[in-house]
């Protein structure tokens, strides 16, 4: 899922020069980008790119199916797509509207059990549209999200926990007034759509999107044939990472797919292929909330960039071992999908292939830092939870001589000591400082990244 990007890193890469902005780049130019990201920057294991436009489709790949195997990734390789799932959820919402089963301005509470108390603010109720545009005022993550397995954090989050979170939630701002990305909100949207339809979320995606578009490789639960094509995931440092299971919040990020399937989805959105779904999908592109961020508006689930004299409609996703990007330029009628079996972002590649004025990320090697030799028993003092923002926590754990930091909704990453209180990530260009009071008690941590230094106060 696309999570809080407090931990973000890229390497330096000069923008490739393509012959004409109106044409898709050639295969060699794309491969040069992918080779640089994988071989030089060491920020990916395998990347597959797909492009669809009026001239047809093409797939370009580079890298490996998994870190220690020679097998190559290709257009039929299966990846977790994380939060790119969200635009499938909003497509289902628009489909339910078309069928007369739901209305965008319906209150969410209408579709929940009576025992669930959906929070309100100023007498206003959260609507389905608020969930679909991330303007519900619900927090990014549930406040009772405490995974047992940090490597598969959503697996044990149950429907009862989601209901308890909603019933106990107090909204801190007006509904519909501000964009704030919410995995809880979009997961809830997928949940109520499924309740109303009387089918599972996956069954709805397959029935109403995948089968009409012949997307036979897009599923949540994989059969034996699809499992054989599922590329193993890798962390930011290239270590193997377990797959994520997201049962309750499936609509926020549970789907797995391939480049070839995502090109079919993009083609239907753009109208390059004839599909009965295209009119429904196009309605999800209509801007519903303006000013989400500079140059950014919100459609139904889709983010819409207005830059360089054009529009890019897009979404991305990240899970513990994968990153995804899907987007299209409605004027050029070009769509791009990028999938990686490594958690580092590849969004810049997708945007650049749609519009070359979007710069590629830098690929300079991270600053070399030296690991200090300290008494590992000092780590015990740092173990705990630190609140970075509302319902967003750093969880610090000790595992023998390793200390890990995990941000809410992300996977745990090891941090390394430079001194007794200063730690750094090897996977990204970021550091953590633990803060002590006059008694020597650890009371907070400070994240240093991209010139910002937010503090997270210790709460446990």
Across 8-30, average pLDDT? 54
pTM, full prediction: 0.84
* Distance of alpha carbon 157 from alpha carbon 146, whole angstroms: 8
Q: Report residue 270: phi and psi, to 5°.
A: -75, -25
- Nearest-CA neighbor of 144 among 133, 126, 160? 160
What is the Cα gyration radius of the chain?
Answer: 22
Residue boundaries of the structural domains of the chain: 1-365, 376-458
- Cα gap 66→232, rounded to integer Å: 6
DSSP-derived letter for residue 49 is E
pLDDT digits (tens, 9 = 90+) for 107-164: 999 999 999 999 999 999 999 999 999 999 999 999 899 899 988 999 999 999 999 9
Question: Going by CATH, does the domain composed of 376-458 fall within 3.40.718.10?
Answer: no
Quote the CA–CA distance of 165 and 159 in Å, as a whole number: 10
User: In 151-309, which ranges are E strands?
Assistant: 233-234, 240-241, 256-257, 289-293, 296-298, 303-307
- Counting residues of the chain whose pLDDT is more than 90, the rounded percentage is 78
For 360-419, write each residue's pLDDT tens digit: 987 665 467 889 989 989 999 999 999 988 778 999 999 888 899 988 877 788 999 999
Helix (H) or strand (E) holding 402: strand 402-407
pLDDT of residue 236: 86
Residue 270's pLDDT band (cuts 50, 70, 90): very high
CA 246 to CA 255: how far, in whole Å? Answer: 9
Which class does domain 1-365 fall in? alpha beta
- Burial group, residue 55, by CB count within 10 angstroms (0-12, 13-18, 19+): exposed
pLDDT band for position 460 (50/70/90)? confident
CA distances from 428 to 68, 236, 416, 435 (A): 22, 8, 12, 21
Q: Which helix (H) or strand (E) holds 435?
A: strand 431-436
pLDDT at 392: 84
């Amino acid at each position: 899922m696309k999570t809080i990007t407090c931990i973000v890193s890229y390497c330096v890469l000069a923008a490739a020069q393509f012959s004409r902005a109106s044409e898709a780049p050639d295969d060699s130019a794309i491969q040069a980008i992918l080779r640089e990201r994988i071989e030089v920057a060491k920020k990916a294991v395998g990347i597959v790119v797909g492009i669809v436009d009026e001239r047809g489709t093409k797939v370009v790949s580079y890298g490996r199916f998994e870190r220690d195997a020679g097998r190559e990734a290709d257009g039929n390789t299966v990846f977790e797509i994380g939060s790119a799932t969200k635009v499938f959820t909003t497509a289902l919402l628009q489909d339910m509207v078309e069928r007369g089963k739901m209305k965008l301005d319906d209150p969410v509470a209408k579709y929940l059990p009576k025992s669930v108390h959906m929070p309100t603010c100023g007498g206003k109720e959260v609507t389905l549209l608020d969930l679909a545009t991330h303007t519900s005022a619900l927090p990014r993550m549930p406040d009772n999200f405490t995974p047992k397995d940090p490597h598969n954090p959503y697996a044990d989050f149950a429907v009862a926990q989601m209901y308890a979170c909603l019933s106990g939630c107090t909204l801190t701002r007006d509904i519909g007034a501000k964009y704030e990305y919410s995995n809880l909100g979009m997961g809830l949207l997928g949940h109520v759509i499924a309740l109303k339809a009387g089918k599972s979320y996956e069954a709805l995606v397959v029935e109403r999107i995948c089968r009409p578009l012949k997307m036979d490789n897009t599923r949540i639960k994989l059969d034996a044939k699809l499992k054989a094509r599922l590329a193993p995931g890798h962390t930011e440092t290239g270590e193997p990472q377990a797959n994520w299971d997201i049962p309750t919040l499936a609509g926020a990020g549970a789907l797995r797919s391939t480049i070839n399937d995502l090109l079919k989805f993009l083609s239907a959105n753009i109208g390059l292929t004839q599909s009965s779904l295209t009119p429904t999908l196009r309605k999800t592109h209509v801007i519903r909330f303006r000013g989400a961020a500079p140059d950014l508006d919100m459609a139904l689930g889709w983010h819409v960039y207005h830059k360089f004299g054009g529009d890019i409609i897009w979404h991305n996703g990240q899970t513990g071992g994968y990153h995804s990007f899907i987007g299209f330029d409605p004027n050029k009628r070009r769509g791009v999908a990028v999938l990686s079996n490594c958690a580092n972002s590849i969004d810049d590649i997708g945007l650049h292939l749609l519009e070359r004025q979007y710069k590629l990320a830098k690929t300079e090697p991270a600053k070399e830092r030296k690991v200090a030799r300290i008494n590992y028993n000092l780590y015990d003092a740092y173990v705990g939870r630190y609140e970075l923002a509302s319902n967003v926590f750093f969880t610090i754990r000790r595992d023998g001589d390793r200390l890990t930091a995990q941000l809410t909704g992300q996977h745990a990453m090891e941090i390394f000591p430079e001194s007794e209180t200063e730690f750094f990530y090897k996977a990204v260009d970021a550091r953590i400082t633990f803060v002590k009071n006059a008694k020597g008690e650890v009371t907070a941590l400070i994240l240093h990244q991209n010139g910002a230094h937010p503090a997270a106060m210790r709460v446990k």
